[in-house]
Amino acid sequence: MERSVRATTAEARLRSRTDELERVLAPLPTGALAGESLARAERLLDDCQFGAEFVPVEFGGRLERIDGLGRVVRPACRRDLSLGFGYGLNCYFASTPVWVAGDLAQREWTAALLLGGGRMAVARPAVAHANDFVRDEFALVKDDGRRRLDGAKTAVLNYARARGLTVIASAEDGTHEVLLIDREILPEGALRILHRYRTVGLDGCEFGGLEFAGCPVPDEAVVGEAGQGMGLAVRCSVVTRALLPSALIAAADTVLRTAIRFAVETRGEDPYGPLRSPYGREVLTGALLDLLISDSIALAAARGIHLLPDRVSACAAAAAYTVPKLLQDSAHDLSTVLGEAYFDAKGRYGAFGRMVRDLPLLAQGHAGTAARQAMLVAQLPQLARESWLVDDEPPAALLRPWEDLPPADLAALTPAGSSDPIVPVLSACAGLGGELGELVTAFLGELRKLRGRFAKITPGDGLSTPDTLALTDRYALVCAAAASLGVWREHRDARPGTFLADPAWITGALHRLGALLGLDIPKAPQEDVERRLFDAVLERYEQRRSYDLYETTLAES
């Protein structure tokens, strides 16, 4: 984009950039990229300097806001997750240690690589309850003060083509080190490319094995403080957990859009089709609500990185924990709308099945869940005792996507906080009357129960039991309710007349989350709520606006 036409506010810049990416990607088919068409799509992104999205402005890139990055990757993710995430967002994930703790030289090198269209890949450490993606890890061996890397890893994304590697390696003393490796300057034979790891979902993503053999590691490769690699990796995961929901939301947008397209295009054939049947309408509106809930907690997590870096981690972990579950469930419910077309591998409705296969892999399954639960369980007992139902609510800007933010200070991120970033919104909404007021009361009752349960847990003790793990699930749903409620309230106060200021969606959203928690609330929202939401689903489809908080105009593909 020419500097002369650059918009003046961050929000305007974001809108014009997402519009530009929509236009550029418009010729591509949705959910059908593979082989040559995927390579062509990657070149289209290269041509508009997509890599600049992953580089902070102070290093010459376009990255101003974490929530902005979450929005900018959506046009690509809506078309294909292997493109938007595999080729795109994962490069930012890989480079987070550098932005959080890297020195100037490391930052400049990473910036130059990404601005030049190069790829970054990350090799994560092995964790408990690992899957094939995080089972093995590289070993860092120290000899006479020299470091070298050894060992193999099975499934690294962009294993063969990423020039920059961030490697989280374990040392013999049990500590970890984050290393930034330029594979082009490694000695011959130090790094071997193993075979590709084929997956059923995300099949355009290039996962594969890497093996280091006595690879020398210079001092300047160490990112952050020596021996503190695990702590750095955990702080980086606050950022990636705040961003992951955006990729899932974009995919779920395509899932819902494909389902409604099927319903609209076949409505003449079936007088009892999904647009008229109560269940069909319920799953279509439910899917929109799940998207809005997901985007609300994603917004709180992403903006929290700017506004509440010392306490956002609970919200980020809750977002990454609960959004995949909500969106995968609503995708399954939507399968009933498609019926036989659910099995289409290509064509007008093929994107649906493809995205449904991609979602679990992107969410990283149980290993992903377990890591997010660890982040929650480590701090919820303290939040229960000291913060819930006591602390003031977060600043209004947290949930106002249109407002500017101070630059993110990623070095200020902490793995766990001492006050809750988002649930105080519930207490602040306690005075609402009517149906919405009753719902808020029910959630406050749930929060009170959670406080009672968590307050009894000694930090570090009895954390990994099924009942405590179940409580983290409940907390994540309460968190999502608080974020959604906050988004509605900020729109009501500052953006009256908009869809998000209408109580219909938040009433429906709280009903949905309340049902997942088994709260004692009326079963379905009132009929006019249901009708307004269903109209919104149809209207956004017909007017080609995205099914998230932003209603981005989508290019015709």
Partner 1 sequence: MAAPTAGAPVLVSGPEGQWDEVLRPLAARGTVVTYGRVADWLPEETEERVLRPLLGPRDWGRFQRLSHRRVREGFLASRLLLKHTAARVLASSPESVDLAYKPGGRPYLRGCDQIDISLSHTEEVMVVGVTRRGLLGVDVERAERPMVGTGVEFQACTPHERELLESLPERTRNSALVRLWTLKEAYSKAIGQGLRFRFTEFGFTLDDARIRLQRPDGSPGTGPEWSFGTYALESDYVVSAALRDEGFGAAADTAADTTLDQSLLGVLLGRL
> Could you list the residues that contact partner 1 (CB under 8 A)?
127-133, 135, 174-176, 198-201, 230-231, 234, 279, 325, 329, 332-333, 335-336, 339-340, 342-343, 345, 353, 357, 360-361, 365-367, 369-371, 373-375, 377-379, 415-416, 459-460, 463-474, 512, 515-516, 518
Which is nearer to partner 1, 465 or 498 (by Cβ)?
465
What gap in Å lies between CA 69 and CA 100, rounded to an integer? 16
Identify the bridge partners of residue 223 per DSSP, sorted by sequence position.
178
What gap in Å lies between CA 234 and CA 241, rounded to an integer? 10
Which is nearer to partner 1, 329 or 438 (by Cβ)?
329
Query: Which H/E stretch holds residue 475?
Result: helix 466-494
Which is nearer to partner 1, 188 or 340 (by Cβ)?
340
Nearest partner of 85 among 276, 324, 399, judged by Cα: 324
Shortest distance (Å) from residue 404 CB to partner 1:
32
Which is nearer to partner 1, 16 or 131 (by Cβ)?
131
Residue pair 383/417 in contact by the 8 Å Cβ criterion? yes
One-letter amino acid for residue 482 of the chain: A
Shortest distance (Å) from residue 298 CB to partner 1:
20
Residue 370 makes CB contacts below 8 A (sequence gap 6+) with 127, 128, 129
The torsion of the CA quartet 109, 111, 113, 118, rounded to 10 degrees, works out to 150
Shortest distance (Å) from residue 320 CB to partner 1:
13
Long-range contacts of 369-372 (CB under 8 A, 24+ apart): 369/321, 370/127, 370/128, 370/129, 371/127, 371/237, 372/241, 372/317, 372/318, 372/320, 372/321
Shortest distance (Å) from residue 202 CB to partner 1:
9
| Tokens (6 digits) for 271 | 């007088």
One-letter amino acid for residue 419 of the chain: S
Which is nearer to partner 1, 494 or 524 (by Cβ)?
524
**What is residue 236's three-state secondary structure?**
helix
Which is nearer to partner 1, 199 or 441 (by Cβ)?
199
Which is nearer to partner 1, 73 or 416 (by Cβ)?
416
Shortest distance (Å) from residue 65 CB to partner 1:
26
Shortest distance (Å) from residue 374 CB to partner 1:
4
Which is nearer to partner 1, 55 or 371 (by Cβ)?
371
Residue pair 550/540 in contact by the 8 Å Cβ criterion? no
What gap in Å lies between CA 45 and CA 206, rounded to an integer? 17
Which is nearer to partner 1, 410 or 516 (by Cβ)?
516
Which is nearer to partner 1, 37 or 336 (by Cβ)?
336
Shortest distance (Å) from residue 493 CB to partner 1:
31
| SS3 track for 270-319 | CCCCCCCCHHHHHHHHHHHHHHHHHHHHHHHHHHHHHHCCCCCHHHHHHH
| Tokens (6 digits) for 242 | 């705040």
Burial class (CB in 10 A: 0-12, 13-18, 19+), 466: exposed
Shortest distance (Å) from residue 360 CB to partner 1:
4
Shortest distance (Å) from residue 446 CB to partner 1:
13
**What is residue 6's three-state secondary structure?**
coil
Which is nearer to partner 1, 135 or 492 (by Cβ)?
135
| Tokens (6 digits) for 93 | 């994930």
Nearest partner of 502 among 288, 307, 283, judged by Cα: 288
Residue pair 263/349 in contact by the 8 Å Cβ criterion? no
Burial class (CB in 10 A: 0-12, 13-18, 19+), 69: buried
CA distances from 510 to 245, 282, 297, 324, 540 (A): 19, 15, 13, 18, 22
Residue with structure tokens 């279509």? Answer: 284
What gap in Å lies between CA 337 and CA 246, rounded to an integer? 24
Shortest distance (Å) from residue 469 CB to partner 1:
4
Shortest distance (Å) from residue 474 CB to partner 1:
7
Shortest distance (Å) from residue 293 CB to partner 1:
14
The single-letter DSSP state of residue 417 is -
Which is nearer to partner 1, 335 or 441 (by Cβ)?
335
